[in-house]
């Protein structure tokens, strides 16, 4: 039989091994502490952290207000260690979200770093029209994408077209209409204006009824769910017809022209302007 070998260790040898193990552990934790302390100070070096914020592109919005939001958003640390101002980990999306939420006037925003300087470039929304409530003088800027973004000062008539309806509560930051709907309305009013007929107001009554109004009080009634080009062509056919040629450009005496029924266009004369008893007539002969 093979005898089992028994290795005997003296107390002195066992103690030596324990001592070496303690030394290795001490070295390991010492290196770990040095790395942690070095990392702590490294991530706080000025050239690795945002030191300044510059803003370009602001016309109405105050640049200092945007800078303040950026700095406030970068306050604090990640996990209590990494400063949020670190150029590799600064909260870019959160900064953009805070700025855009605070200033609905801002249409687009981009950020870049130039060393330790954070550069914010913005583009403000361009006023396309006004949205006004039923309260006189209570009007707001509306952009071509359908967003209401700022309170508007008083303007003289004709500076901007006026939209009404479809909004409850504080209008700023709300979408009045989709960009597609705004485009639809523009196509139709462009066709109307090409005949010299001025357009001043647009009222959204319901999903199926939008009224494009002239200063003289004539309404062109359209359905935004229908094809814009066809509606515009029908509007043109009406205005160049014998029934309407002599009424251009003011359309005096016409209450409304309803363009929601394809080639059958209904219109109503105002009381005292000819056919006052007829509530609606079919315009025939001018449309196919």
Q: What is the pLDDT of residues 230-284, one digit of tens each?
A: 999 999 999 998 888 888 998 988 999 999 998 888 888 877 555 543 444 545 4
Residue-level pLDDT at 168: 85
**b/e for 43-65, b at 16 or more Cβ within 10 A?**
beeeeebbeebebebbeebeeee
Residue-level pLDDT at 253: 87
254: which strand partners?
269
Distance of alpha carbon 282 from alpha carbon 280, whole angstroms: 7
Domain 47-124 has CATH 3.30.565.10: no
Residue 26, token pair as written in the block: 């001490």
Which CATH number does 129-283 carry? 3.40.50.11690
Give the contacts of 255 (CB within 8 A, at least 6 positions apart).
217, 218, 219, 267, 268, 269, 270
Q: Is 67 exposed, middle or buried (0-12, 13-18, 19+ CB in 10 A)?
A: middle
141: which strand partners?
130, 150
CA distances from 58 to 77, 107, 260 (A): 29, 11, 43
DSSP secondary structure code for residue 147 in this structure = B
Q: Which helix (H) or strand (E) holds 83?
A: strand 82-83
| pLDDT tens per residue, range 37-57 | 665 666 667 788 899 999 999
Largest CA distance in the chain: 132
Residue-level pLDDT at 269: 85
Residues carrying CATH 3.10.20.310, the chain:
47-124
The answer to whether 187 and 159 have CB atoms below 8 angstroms apart is no
User: Which residue numbers in the chain have pLDDT < 50?
Assistant: 1, 276-280, 282, 284-288
Residues carrying CATH 3.40.50.11690, the chain:
129-283
Sign of the dihedral defined by the CA atoms of residues 176, 182, 184, 190, in that order: positive
Residue-level pLDDT at 5: 56
Report helix angle 179-193 to 228-239, nearest 10: 20
Q: Which helix (H) or strand (E) holds 212?
A: strand 209-213
Residue-level pLDDT at 262: 84
């Amino acid at each position: 039989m093979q005898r089992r070998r028994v290795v005997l260790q003296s107390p002195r040898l066992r103690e030596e091994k324990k001592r070496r193990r303690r030394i290795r552990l001490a070295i390991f934790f010492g290196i770990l502490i040095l790395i942690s302390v070095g990392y702590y100070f490294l991530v706080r070096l000025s050239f690795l952290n945002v030191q300044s914020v510059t803003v370009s592109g602001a016309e109405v919005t105050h640049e200092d207000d945007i800078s303040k939001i950026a700095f406030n958003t970068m306050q604090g640390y990640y996990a209590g260690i990494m400063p949020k101002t670190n150029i590799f980990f600064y909260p870019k999306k959160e900064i953009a979200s805070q700025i855009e939420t605070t200033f609905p006037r801002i249409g687009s925003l981009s950020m870049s770093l130039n060393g330790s300087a954070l550069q914010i470039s913005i583009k403000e929304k361009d006023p396309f029209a006004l949205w006004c409530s039923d309260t006189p003088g209570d009007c707001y800027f509306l952009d071509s994408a359908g967003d209401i973004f700022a309170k508007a000062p008083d303007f003289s008539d004709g500076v901007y077209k006026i939209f009404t309806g479809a909004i409850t509560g504080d209008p700023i930051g709300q979408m009045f209409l989709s960009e597609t709907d705004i485009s639809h309305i523009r196509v139709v009013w462009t066709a109307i204006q090409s005949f010299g007929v001025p357009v001043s107001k647009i009222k959204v009554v319901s999903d199926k009824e939008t009224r494009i109004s002239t200063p003289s009080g004539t309404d062109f009634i359209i359905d935004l769910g229908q094809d814009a080009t066809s509606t515009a062509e029908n509007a043109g056919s009406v205005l160049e017809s014998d029934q309407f040629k002599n009424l251009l450009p003011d359309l005096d005496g016409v209450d409304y022209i309803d363009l929601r029924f394809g080639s059958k266009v209904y219109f109503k004369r105002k009381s005292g302007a000819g056919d006052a008893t007829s509530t609606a007539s079919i315009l025939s002969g001018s449309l196919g």
